[in-house]
Structure 1
Amino acid sequence: MQISKATKIELLNFKCVPMKAFHASWLTFFICFFAWFGLAPLMPEIKNELNLSKAQIANISIAAVSMTVFARLLIGWLCDKIGPRWCYVILLSVGALPVMMIGFVNSYESFLIGRLFIGLIGASFVITQYHTSVMFAPNIVGTANATAAGWGNLGGGVTQVAMPAIFAGVVSLGFTASEAWRIAMIFPGLALLLMAYVYYKYTQDTTEGNVLELRKKNPEFKAKNPDIKGSFWMAFKEYRVWILGLVYGACFGIELTMDGIAAIYFTEEFNTPLMIAGIIAASFGMMNLFARALGGIYSDKISQKFGLKGRVILLSAFLFLEGIGIILFSEMNLLPLAILTLILFALFVKMSNGVTYSIVPFVNKKALGSVAGIVGAGGNIGAVLANSVFTVHSYRYGLFIIGTVVCGISVLALFLKFPNEVSSDLLVNIGEAKENEKVRELTRI
């Protein structure tokens, strides 16, 4: 029985195929983000043990996000080829290994390599966005993408509190601090393996079924893309993909950067204890509970009146406000004001993320996975560039530079044009939503 795309988000519906994919994708991404940045709140302790310099810490932060660039480019194409379900199972199974094995490192060089390979699980974001994009209709896809990604990104906030707590718990059992942070990383690694089983057991690639099984029944089946081999090249040639990649580097790239440095920033700039610094850093990540979803919701709402042009203008506005917020944060010398401005610019970082990926499904529907992969990789390239600033400048001045650059990129976002698709955004939102709702009522499971 063919099932239509979902035209609304029903959070308590755990039976219909789109909602099972929604819940599985955000929860899996949450665990991935938790494991990806599980080391970040423990860096003050690791820094002392391995005697790391500021430049070495910056290099480690770069390593944490640089491998993800290549992984996202590959995983986007792979989603088009074998479907998001198997992509996630493979990524989770492989990614769990470096997360648990990081405990065997004993030098800056080995830690750097371990951090590099942990970055592979950052490609999980592309799978999440791909899966929700093929499960939800255009009238709600922006909200679905933003909510799933936002709730997944919560892992970056929760880990700032949870990992120091796990670390403290292990220490209380009689282990040394050096042993405790290593043992603590076993927990997120096991969680990744658990989610690999959950994703395999409870999801399917599309509303029609799993890509590989459908292809066996019908060799002509090509999922979303009629030309799988050419999907990456189709996306590569699209100038809008590169603008969106740059834009995503200016929002999600900054989110990754702050997830990596927030705890150590507050310990060094304000002399806050590790647990307190972790809680403050968590407030940045916890904004994902609603802020990224708000970006998607606002984008869907404005598109009903102004089409894709409205989405683009909203993205530019949020990016500009983000840049101003970063500049203000860099100038704060009082802890309460620093926390306030951190939360302020976090709001616009997350909303910018949400708006960006509400536009992605409309760029090139024949190469959705590759578009999502390239734009997602842009986020990590942004993080690499932002972290490289800290190798030569202080955190404060580096953040000031970053904020200024983000303001400039907000203007570039206005060059995104959709001359042939503005009307289709409006018509598809209304026409397809109504048609899908009728079909869905007949095929609800």
Structure 2
Amino acid sequence: MSQKLNLLSFKGNIRILHTTWFAFFISFMVWFNHAPLMSVIRDVFNLTAQEVSVLLILNVALTIPARIIVGMMVDSFGPRRMFSGILIFSSFLCLFFAWAQTFEQLALARFLLGFVGAGFVVGIRMIGEWFPARQTGIAQGIYGGWGNFGSAGSAMALPALALWIGGEDGWRYALTATAVIAFFYGIFYYLSVTDTPKGSTYFKPKKVGGMEVTSKLDLTLYLIMSMPIYGALALLTWKLSPKGMGWLNEQVVIITYASIAIVYLYQAMHIIKVNKDIFSKEVPDLFRYQFKQVAILDLAYMVTFGSELALVSMLPLFYIDMFGLSPVTAGLLAAIYPVMNLIARPGGGMMSDKIGRKKSLVILFSGISVTFLLLGQVSETWAVPLVVACTILCGLFSKGGSGAVYAMVPLIQRRMTGQVAGMVGAYGNVGGLIFLTVLSFVSPQVFFMVIGGTAATVLLFMFIFLEEPKGQTAEVLEDGTVELIDVT
């Protein structure tokens, strides 16, 4: 493979990169297709502000566990089948939402559409299979950064399409168009890609039901790091409870809390069952990896992608409330932040390839800490261009950080790349939920300071615990022979 990526080529691994980032683009377009049309949907269904908030929350609720589940499935069934299946399945869910007749139908469809947000995990495994360690950072960055732009694609295209179609159902046909695109691209993707380059082996986990770890200490850390994922679901339930938005009654809330606890305990039992061998025998050094690497990447993505989800949600109102800008102006200034994914995330991946995984994350997290703490000092006396410049700096560092995180994910353990990517991705959604919950209790300045302080804490963990991937990892072929995979 060439040392440089020729992005104008549509052959070999570059073709896989382009077809896969576009699959991710479509999945994000479908996942967030409601946002630019929400004002029309609100008027058609006479929704209250609370009901609108419920739809926005439900849209991300299922994504958290779905990324864990899809991570396991992609390792077992391969990214070709999984991404095709997710796109085709989501097209029918999209149609359900587009032609819903009641708020309850809207809510159920939006909740189920959170599943399509797990498509991101699938592409991480696909890109990891097709690109060597020296190129994985830039390739993963392009995949994540360009695919993430799907939400902006919806925002730019769907209102205009609905207006062009016209009539009271114009918005429904605009949403239907995204369903049609997802359906046919799902078929196209299945017919045009393979899970690995010709002659390469697709390594699968030896056991299904949980990530394999290689020591008892790692097993304990894995169980602990699984808790916040279920805690985030409990937090979502609390936000919908009588103490929050009041959408769920007390009885349903108690049942939901109990169900979340039972699911966690069930998953914990499966994790222990998958790893029961470590209690009776040592894992050979050749096959060992350290779960602390996964834990640090979980926390890192919680900050980088979590802050992105939170800022995308709050920046327009921040500009309106603090500086008295018009909604149109505020929306345009806020849109600068997500658009930077196009360059910052690939830039973070490229930086990781060039100077090293740990060094890149340390530099980028230093920038995240400083810029968010600086943004926490903003007041009404600041010039708006200066505030926008600060958010751009925050975006460059945080989105670059996301690229650097996923530059390292495929280098931990090849056969479990999907599961690692799923857990890290779930933590991104957990971060968004936590930061938005914090924002509901404090001022924007304190909110920014909390993100900066969290980033500084994760930076300290990186200094102490994170290790640069070196040498090779080992995987066992079906005939029992061992294959070594470069991670340097």
Q: Output the TM-score relative to the length of structure 2.
A: 0.73
Aligned partner of 1:121 in structure 2 is 116
Q: CA 1:397–1:110 in 2, change beyond 3 Å: closer, same or farther?
A: farther
3-state secondary structure, aligned to 1:233: coil
Q: CA 1:61–1:378 in 2, change beyond 3 Å: closer, same or farther?
A: same
Could you tell me which amino acid in structure 2 is paired with residue 242 of structure 1?
A: A
| 1:242 matches 2:295 | yes
Q: How does 1:360-379 map to 2 (within 5 A)?
A: 360-379=409-428
Q: CA 1:109–1:147 in 2, change beyond 3 Å: closer, same or farther?
A: same
For 1:412 and 1:330, how far apart are their aligned partners in 2?
Answer: 31
Aligned partner of 1:159 in structure 2 is 154
Give the deviation of 1:48 after TM superposition: 5.0
| Uncovered stretches (5+) of structure 1, i.e. residues with no partner | 215-220, 426-430, 435-445
Q: CA 1:166–1:415 in 2, change beyond 3 Å: closer, same or farther?
A: farther
For 1:208 and 1:6, how far apart are their aligned partners in 2?
Answer: 17
Aligned partner of 1:195 in structure 2 is 185
3-state secondary structure, aligned to 2:8: coil
For 1:310 and 1:340, how far apart are their aligned partners in 2?
Answer: 25
Give the deviation of 1:158 after TM superposition: 2.8
| 1:184 matches 2:174 | yes
Give the deviation of 1:182 after TM superposition: 3.0
For 1:186 and 1:96, how far apart are their aligned partners in 2?
Answer: 8
Cα deviation, 1:56-80, whole Å, max 9, x if unaligned, reads 5444333222211121111111121
Q: How does 1:387-402 map to 2 (within 5 A)?
A: 387-393=436-442, 398-402=447-451
Could you tell me which amino acid in structure 1 is paired with residue 20 of structure 2?
A: S
Give the deviation of 1:296 after TM superposition: 0.6
Give the deviation of 1:110 after TM superposition: 3.8
Residues 126 and 376 in structure 1, CA contact (< 8 A), matched pair in contact too: yes
For 2:399 and 2:6, how far apart are their aligned partners in 1?
Answer: 23
For 1:46 and 1:269, how far apart are their aligned partners in 2?
Answer: 28
For 1:314 and 1:230, how far apart are their aligned partners in 2?
Answer: 36
For 1:186 and 1:273, how far apart are their aligned partners in 2?
Answer: 31
Q: CA 1:262–1:323 in 2, change beyond 3 Å: closer, same or farther?
A: closer
3-state secondary structure, aligned to 2:376: helix
Cα deviation, 1:354-409, whole Å, max 9, x if unaligned, reads 01111112223342121111111111111222233354456665455444434433
Residues 348 and 360 in structure 2, CA contact (< 8 A), matched pair in contact too: no
Could you tell me which amino acid in structure 2 is paired with residue 150 of structure 1?
A: G
Which structure's relative contact order is higher, taking Cα pairs within 8 Å and 6+ residues apart?
A: 1
Q: CA 1:285–1:163 in 2, change beyond 3 Å: closer, same or farther?
A: farther
* Structure with greater proportional helix content: 1
Q: CA 1:48–1:396 in 2, change beyond 3 Å: closer, same or farther?
A: farther
For 1:270 and 1:49, how far apart are their aligned partners in 2?
Answer: 31
| 1:349 matches 2:398 | yes
Could you tell me which amino acid in structure 1 is paired with residue 423 of structure 2?
A: I
Out of 241, 246, 255, the position equivalent to 2:308 is 255
3-state secondary structure, aligned to 1:201: helix
Give the deviation of 1:248 after TM superposition: 0.6
| Uncovered stretches (5+) of structure 2, i.e. residues with no partner | 223-290, 474-484
Could you tell me which amino acid in structure 1 is paired with residue 307 of structure 2?
A: I
Aligned partner of 2:138 in structure 1 is 143
Q: CA 1:144–1:87 in 2, change beyond 3 Å: closer, same or farther?
A: same
Q: CA 1:412–1:252 in 2, change beyond 3 Å: closer, same or farther?
A: same
Q: How does 1:18-29 map to 2 (within 5 A)?
A: 18-29=13-24
Equivalent residues, number:
403
Cα deviation, 1:287-319, whole Å, max 9, x if unaligned, reads 11111011011111112xxxx442442343243
3-state secondary structure, aligned to 2:340: helix
Aligned partner of 1:443 in structure 2 is none
Could you tell me which amino acid in structure 2 is paired with residue 229 of structure 1?
A: V
Aligned partner of 2:460 in structure 1 is 411
Out of 347, 355, 367, the position equivalent to 1:294 is 347
Give the deviation of 1:94 after TM superposition: 0.8
Residues 134 and 353 in structure 2, CA contact (< 8 A), matched pair in contact too: yes
Could you tell me which amino acid in structure 1 is paired with residue 68 of structure 2?
A: L
Aligned partner of 1:438 in structure 2 is none
Out of 90, 98, 102, the position equivalent to 1:103 is 98
